Structure 1
């Protein structure tokens, strides 16, 4: 879910959260509305505490449960976007004290499962609608996916240790907007980095040497909860979208296009508020994902990095080109219209 720091409830995250010029101008125009009795969202410490209460619980004992549910869609030039399958995700996070004495270390594990479009049932194989080929579905199993929460902006992703660049510390300022009694948070990240699935080794899973990924998180937060000093955890709802290469297990090979996740997301303090089908499946097949980790461990890998470590390349038939989806055709109604006399 590379996620990227996933699910910025758990993963997906906020690396690169510097304000754009337009965002900075908007914030400067009215900062008083972001000051409350519990936190001042125009200060680095206020941002740190608010961010920690969204992603975890600052009592540093309780678990915060993140969720996402929605669609996986395929995007190809020359045709309408297609719905491929559904998606459901669960994350379990807990906060630990930061070693500096200021801030937190968030420890998290998360699982993402794919579902049938009609029944909503979790699937372990499916027919790829582009290739008409049965493929094994590989769930997302990020364990762990950890990061720190301090009064400084997070460092850029390391991409499994490839990126060694360490920018100068920058005060943490997230992109908050207050709309009456609702607090909104906008977070997104645009990435372009070497793929952990090089096409020479993984020709059916991936056709590009680089990954082009964008993730966007939109949070809807009760203002009263954020400004309640007794609340060590603040629940929220929102949306999470991710533009990503074709999911490797779809075996799209050199087919032009990409996939996208389009989901609702949220975080709650009670696991029983998570989708029951998801909980039942995880309890039966992946029970450790019902609990947060006990301690900080490295490394924290993206889902694509983990795929490269846990899966094996699908074979290409001897003497045959790498399979790809047939080129799209124009819609039947459009071809019929063109065939009419005088069209």
Structure 2
């Protein structure tokens, strides 16, 4: 699953109108307040580690058919927020993605039967990152190009207040060339392009967000994403796509993350939690090309 800020080519924000007036000390129309609030809901402003667990399902969508439940899914993310001053923050994060049985208790077996093709597929669990993102009043930026225009600019997100809760919504789309060429990887590649859309909401206590004495706040997340077929599903350019539907929450301490979720992540990367933000950088498709060979049609 690609993060909303993971694409370096062709990314756009979908809908960025502020929908609440000033609430306490938080002004949702102020880019400086937006950058601060985004960082606080993403991690801890005191620079300590933050953990975010998302679990849910992957559905398949094909023209003329009802959606099909394909797999369960878990994303365990570790991140650290660094306050750079002048309203800007650096978010460093890394994730382990695990495809699971529907009840999310175990990894998907290595002989998973694809309900669309009837073929036996071997799931590809993977690590992504560490990635780095600048959060500024001028929008999201790549640390290597801080002078480049941000996105969105000015940085104003569509916030929503529901009673004593505040909702941060971030909707985005991304496009980039596929690392798996359809000529070399006919069953793994969706074609020359990778396209995805992400719709994410994070919910937390409004009082915690407005309180300057609190460095981090607990949040609950809801994410729906659409993207191309996963390469290990061997769907090639068959019309259709997958959809991720997850719910998650943040944790201040690794010991508070459910043991079964830690176990699933460590089955993919045994030493992940030793130094998750110091591991070599990697991405899903890069790892796939190293670990697998093109399947025979």
Query: TM-score normalised to the size of structure 1?
Result: 0.75
> Alpha carbons of 1:245 and 1:236: their partners in 2 closer, same or farther (altered >3 Å)?
same
By how many angstroms is 1:259 displaced? Answer: 0.9
Considering fraction of residues, name the structure with more helix.
Answer: 1
**Separation (CA, whole Å) in 2 of partners of 1:41 and 1:292:** 35
Considering fraction of residues, name the structure with more strand.
Answer: 2
> Alpha carbons of 1:233 and 1:17: their partners in 2 closer, same or farther (altered >3 Å)?
farther
Q: Residue 2 of structure 1 aligns with which residue?
A: 2
Q: Residue 195 of structure 1 aligns with which residue?
A: 178
Q: Tell me which of 124, 139, 144 is aligned to 2:125.
A: 139
Q: Tell me which of 216, 220, 236 is aligned to 2:203.
A: 220
Q: Tell me which of 157, 161, 185 is aligned to 2:168.
A: 185
By how many angstroms is 1:119 displaced? Answer: 6.7
> Alpha carbons of 1:291 and 1:243: their partners in 2 closer, same or farther (altered >3 Å)?
farther
Instruction: Show structure 1 runs of 5+ residues with no match.
Output: 317-321, 323-343
1:252 aligns with 2:243: no
Written as runs of structure 1 = structure 2, the 5 A alignment for 1:156-175 is: 166-167=148-149, 170-175=153-158
**Separation (CA, whole Å) in 2 of partners of 1:18 and 1:204:** 31
Counterpart of 2:207 in 1: which secondary structure? helix
**Separation (CA, whole Å) in 1 of partners of 2:275 and 2:27:** 29
Instruction: Show structure 2 runs of 5+ residues with no match.
Output: none
**Separation (CA, whole Å) in 2 of partners of 1:97 and 1:185:** 20
Range 240-249 or range 271-280, more displaced: 271-280
By how many angstroms is 1:135 displaced? Answer: 1.7
> Alpha carbons of 1:167 and 1:148: their partners in 2 closer, same or farther (altered >3 Å)?
closer
**1:158-190 Cα deviation digits (max 9, x unpaired):** 9xx9xxx94468221111111221111111112
Q: Which has the larger radius of gyration?
A: 1
By how many angstroms is 1:231 displaced? Answer: 1.2
Q: Verify the 8 A CA contact 2:63 2:240 in the aligned structure 1.
A: yes
**Separation (CA, whole Å) in 2 of partners of 1:302 and 1:285:** 14
By how many angstroms is 1:291 displaced? Answer: 5.3
Counterpart of 2:139 in 1: which secondary structure? coil
> Alpha carbons of 1:44 and 1:115: their partners in 2 closer, same or farther (altered >3 Å)?
same
1:93 aligns with 2:73: no
Q: Tell me which of 252, 258, 262 is aligned to 2:245.
A: 262
Q: Residue 72 of structure 1 aligns with which residue?
A: 58
Query: TM-score normalised to the size of structure 2?
Result: 0.86
Q: In angstroms, what is the RMSD of aligned CA positions?
A: 3.0
**1:131-172 Cα deviation digits (max 9, x unpaired):** 22222211131121221122221148x9xx9xxx94468221
> Alpha carbons of 1:97 and 1:168: their partners in 2 closer, same or farther (altered >3 Å)?
closer
Counterpart of 2:195 in 1: which secondary structure? strand
**Separation (CA, whole Å) in 1 of partners of 2:46 and 2:108:** 37
